[in-house]
Copies of this chain bind each other. A is one copy, B any other.
Amino acid sequence: MRVTIADVARRAGVSKTTVSRVLNGKSDVDADTAHRIREVIAETGYVPSSRAVGLARGQARTVGMLVPSLTWPWMGMVLQGAVDVLEADGYGVLLYTCNRGDESLRRFAVQVSASAFDGLLVIEPENTLDYIAQLHSKGLPVVLIDDRGHHPGFPSVATTNREGAAAAARHLAAIGRRRPAMVTGIGHFGCVRDRSQGFTETAAAEGLRLDPRLVFGGDFTKECGRTAVNEMLAAGLDFDSVFAHNDLAAAGVLGALRDAGLRVPEDVAVIGFDDVPVALHTEPTLTTIRQPLREMGEAAARLLLSHLRGAPASADPLVLPTSLVVRDSAPSI
């Protein structure tokens, strides 16, 4: 059925060892012999069995990718970035999800033990950082795509949450806003602390007044953006701009402002964070702080590949810059 290295060897009149040599580009093979073997390979369409090669070499040329869910709006971008660079290097990508909770994680753990892959790319599923750290300390090459500002003790890729929020503050100052409000994400996330600090500090430095009553503790949902605006309005608070910690919350902010009869950006300017597709479809379109999601996936994959090739693993996070994307909800003047 399947053509094997033995078939190729037979047809070329050489040993399997020699076929293996040309397959793996070892130099010390007679040019004519090599040529003949290559011809047979081409004729037969022979491709080495990845299972057999993996078993003999003790590695799979496959990378695992563990993510919480595939349906988050920005997940596709990160995945695509990672897959592109892994594929270009001939690596397979085994995809694992935590959609079914602990059962998923159990299944995943079995695959780890079965050494189904050589290294692991991970976006942390809820409460698994210790487990991942443990895998790393047991010798599995791991790179974390750190969407939450974890700063773990092993290789990771992150973005400039603090500087991104600072850029939002500077932009609001530059377009003449004086009384910003802020809708944060889930409080215990590192990225939320970083974004809060970056915005608060820079707002102060730019002479903006960030009234503590205008800081709303949100949870990254559209609903929290609505609620934040409604409560601030009900409290009679005055604000001329809103910085939300993610685009979904910013979309909620836009909706609530519209319902309250306020115009964006004339009455209130709005800035989000992430730059997910939704930012293009709100009314008005959303000015936001772009996370380099695809680039983070690519960088993480490259980092992992270099570890697999033996490069030392640094625990210092690789930090990629955010960028300000100006659209209609907070246009430049």
The chain A residues found within 8 Å of chain B, CB to CB, are: 2, 45, 47-52, 54-55, 60, 62, 65, 69-73, 75-77, 79-80, 83-84, 87-88, 90, 92-97, 99-100, 103-104, 107, 110-111, 113-116, 222, 251, 255, 258, 277-278, 280-283
Contacts and interface: CB of A to CB of B under 8 A. Distances in A.
B49 A115 contact: yes
Contact of A115 (B51, B55, B84, B103): B51
B60 A70 contact: no
A47 B108 CA distance: 12
Nearest to A94: B92
B87 A107 contact: yes
- Most B CB within 10 A of own CB, among A92, A97, A255, A282: A92
Contacts of A95: 65, 79, 83, 93-95
A84 B97 CA distance: 8
Contacts of A87: 96-97, 100, 104, 107
Contact of A93 (B79, B94, B251): B94
A49 B114 contact: yes
Contact of A114 (B48, B110, B113, B258): B48
Copies of the chain in the assembly: 2
Contacts of A103: 88
Contacts of A60: 51
A255 B283 contact: yes
24 contacts: A47-B110, A47-B113, A47-B114, A48-B114, A49-B55, A49-B114, A50-B116, A52-B55, A62-B94, A71-B76, A79-B95, A84-B97, A87-B104, A88-B100, A88-B103, A88-B107, A90-B110, A93-B96, A222-B280, A222-B281, A277-B277, A277-B278, A278-B281, A283-B283
A79 B80 CA distance: 13
A99 B87 CA distance: 10
Given A55-B55, A79-B95, A83-B96, 13 more contacts: A50-B114, A70-B79, A70-B80, A70-B83, A71-B77, A71-B80, A83-B95, A87-B107, A88-B100, A92-B116, A93-B96, A258-B283, A278-B281
Contacts of A73: 277
A251 B283 CA distance: 10
Contact of A100 (B2, B55, B84): B84
A278 B280 CA distance: 10
